[in-house]
Structure 1
Amino acid sequence: MLLNYQQKQMPLNESDQKIENIFVIHGLFGSLSNLANVATSLQNDYNIISVDLRNHGDSPHSESMSYEEMANDIFELADTLCIDNFSIIGHSMGGKVAMYCALQRPERINRLIIADIAPVKYGNTHQDVFDGLQTLTKNPIKSRQAADDLLSTTIHNAGIRQFLLKSLARKEGVFQLKFNLEGIMNNYSSIIDWPNIDAVFTKPVLFLKGGDSDYILEKYSSSISHLFPNAKAKIISKTGHWLHADKPKMFNRLVFNFLSQ
C-alpha cells in the first residue's frame, strides 16, 4: 500500500556528503502532523519523510493492519522514493512499526529512535476513546465544539480530546474522522500486541521515555535488550506519553544528538 507522505528535503549544497533519510511515524489515531515539530527541527540536516500509516490521515484504508503489513508499507514507500537505507523515528504504535521494520529488514535500517513504547503486549486502555469516537460517527457534527462536547461524555482528558479532534475534516458540510475507525477497532487486538519475530537488530537504538508515562516499565527491559542489544534509553522528566509535545525542545535535542553521533 502506498502511503500518504510529506517530504522535507535538506537544502541543496555543494557538499558531496550523502544526506541521511529519516522516516517519521506517528502513533495510534494520529497523522504525519503529530511529529511535525521534530521533522522541522531536523530538515536542515536530514531528508525527512513523514508518513500517514494505513487507516490514518490521508493514507488508504484497509481491513487489516498487522505490523508486518505496516512495515511493508514503509519499505514500499522507500522503494518508490528510491531510498535504500534510512533511519526511523517512531512514536507509540509508530515505534512498534519502526522496530518491526528494523527486525524484518535490518540491512536497510541505520538507526532507530523509539518514543515511549516497548516491544511488548499492552492491555486495552482505549475503550473510552473508542466509545467517544463511535458517538461521533453516529451524529452529524457541524462544529469542532460539538465534537468536543460529544467526546467529553466518555473522554474526560481535554488533551486527548484535542489530539483526536485533529483528525476531523469537513466533508459535505459536516465533520468526519479521517482515520478508519472501524478498521482500527477490528485490528486493535493486534495493535496492542507484539508479534513473535525471531530476529535481533544490533545497530544503535534510542528509547525515549516520558517520565510520567507507564508505557516503558522496568519489567520490559529484558524484551528490549534481547531484540535491541545496542539500545540506550533516556527519560524526559515531567512528560507523559506525548513527550514530543510536552517538552519539544528537549525531545528534539535528544533526537538530534543521537542522530549526529
Structure 2
Amino acid sequence: MSTLNYKVFGEGKPLIILHGLFGSLDNWVTLGKKFGEDFKVFLVDQRNHGQSFHDSSFSYEVMSEDLCQFMGEMNISSADLIGHSMGGKTVMEFARKYPEKVDKLVVADIGPKSYPVHHTTIIKAFYSVPIDSLTSRKEADEILSKQIEDFGIRQFLLKNLARTTDGFKWKMNLDVIASQIEEVGKGLNQNATFQKETLFIRGGNSDYILDADFNMIHSIFPKSKIATVDGAGHWLHAEKPMDFYEQVKSFLA
C-alpha cells in the first residue's frame, strides 16, 4: 500500500506527474490518460493534498522524500517526471538529490528562484467558507466569489471540497498549508545542479518564469530548454492541454 494516493494509466516507461498547490491528481486525469498512450503514468497526490495523508511537516525536502519513498514502493528505479508549480519545485528538489532516479525532467510554469507569498487571498477565501455548516457546493462558490472573481479559479479550488456523511470538509490540510505557506515559495539551493535533459514550459500569459530568470535556470539545469505555451496562464496544462501535451511529448520522445 502506497503512502501517497495515486492513479495509474497505460503501460510502458514510467512517467510520474505531480500537481501544484491546492491541486490534486484529479486535475491531471485527462492528460494522464493521453500520456498513458505511450507511458505508464502515475498521477500522485502530494502530502496535505487530495486523498493523501495530512502531516504537520510541509516542505520541498519532505515532499521530495515522499516521492523517493513512492518510487521505492512502486519498484520504479528511474522515471520521467512532470511537476506543475509546487509540484515543479518538488521534482526539481528531487532531481537535485536523486539524479540517478530521474531520466528526463519537465517543470511546468515555475522556476528554481524563490517567490514571495501570493496566495493570501485564496487562503482567506477558503477560511471565509463556514465549512462546518455549509449546505451546498453552490453556497461555497457564492462565498468564494466575494474574494475570487475568476470562475475557472473558483472551480479549480472547489475540487478541494468533499461531501461527507456529516456535511462537507476540505480535502487539503488547510491549516498546515496556511501556516507554512512561506515554504511553498522557497527557492532551490543555488549551488544545486542537475545535469540531465530538462524542459521548463511556461504559460505565455504567466509571469512565473520571466526572460530574466533564464540565466539562473541554465546555471542550475545546464541541459535545459525553455518553451512557451502561447495564450496560456499559470494553469497552462488545463488552459491549453493539447499544446502542453504536444510540447512535452516531443521532449520526452
How far apart are residue 139 of structure 1 and its match? 5.0
Which deviations, in whole Å up to 9, do the C-alpha atoms of 1:149-183 show, x marking residues without a partner?
Answer: 11111112211111000111101242211000011
Q: Which amino acid aligns with 2:5?
A: N
TM-score (norm 2): 0.96
Q: 1:63 aligns with which of 56, 62, 68?
A: 56
1:75-126 superposed Cα distances (whole Å, 9 cap, x missing partner)? 1011001110011111110011011111110011001111100011111211
2:216 corresponds to 1:223? yes
Q: Which residue of 2 aligns with 1:190?
A: 183
| Structure 2 CA distance for aligned equivalents of residues 189 and 241 of structure 1 | 19
Task: Name the counterpart of 1:117.
Answer: 110
Aligned counterpart, 1:13? none
Question: Which among 220, 245, 249 is matched to residue 242 of structure 2?
Answer: 249
Match of 2:128 among 135, 138, 155: 135
Match of 2:66 in 1: 73
Q: Which whole-Å CA distance do the structure 1 matches of 2:18 and 2:47 have between them?
A: 11
Q: Which has the higher mean CA deviation after the structures are superposed, 241-250 or 170-179?
A: 170-179
- Report the Cα distance in structure 2 between the residues aligned to 1:159 and 1:25, rounded to whole angstroms: 20
Partner residue in 1 for 2:9: 8
Q: Within 5 Å, which residues of 2 pair with 1:29-108?
A: 29-108=22-101
Aligned identity (percent) is 39
TM-score between both structures, scaled by the size of structure 1: 0.93
Distance in 2 between residues matched to 1:196 and 1:236, nearest whole Å: 27
Alignment of 1:214 with 2:172, yes or no, is no
1:187 deviates by 1.5
SS at match of 2:57: coil
SS in 2 for 1:55: coil
Q: Is the 8 A contact 2:132 2:167 kept in 1?
A: no
Please report how far the alpha carbon of residue 137 of structure 1 lies from its aligned counterpart in structure 2 after TM superposition: 4.6
Deviation at 1:2?
1.5
Q: Hey, what's the Cα distance between the residues in 1 that align with 2:149 and 2:232?
A: 19
Q: Provide the rounded CA distance (Å) in 2 between the counterparts of 1:244 and 1:52.
A: 17
When the two chains are superposed, the root-mean-square deviation of aligned CA atoms in Å is 1.3
Whether the 8 Å contact between 2:132 and 2:168 is mirrored in structure 1 is no
Query: Shift of the alpha carbon at 1:9?
Result: 3.2
Aligned residues: 252
**Within 2, Cα distance between the matches of 1:42 and 1:24?**
10
Three-state SS of the structure 2 residue aligned to 1:229 is coil
- Whichever residue aligns with residue 189 of structure 1, its letter is E
Q: What code does the residue aligned with 1:6 have? A: K
The CA deviation at 1:198 is 3.3
Say whether 1:26 aligns with 2:19.
Answer: yes
**SS of alignment partner, residue 221 of structure 1:** helix
Distance, in Å, in 1 between the alignment partners of 2:238 and 2:119 is 20
The runs of at least 4 aligned residues of structure 1 exceeding 4 Å deviation read none
Judged with a 3 Å threshold, the aligned counterparts in structure 2 of structure 1 residues 217 and 197 are, in CA distance, closer, same or farther, namely closer
Q: Distance in 1 between matches of 2:133 and 2:105?
A: 41
CA contact (8 A) 1:78 1:84 kept: yes
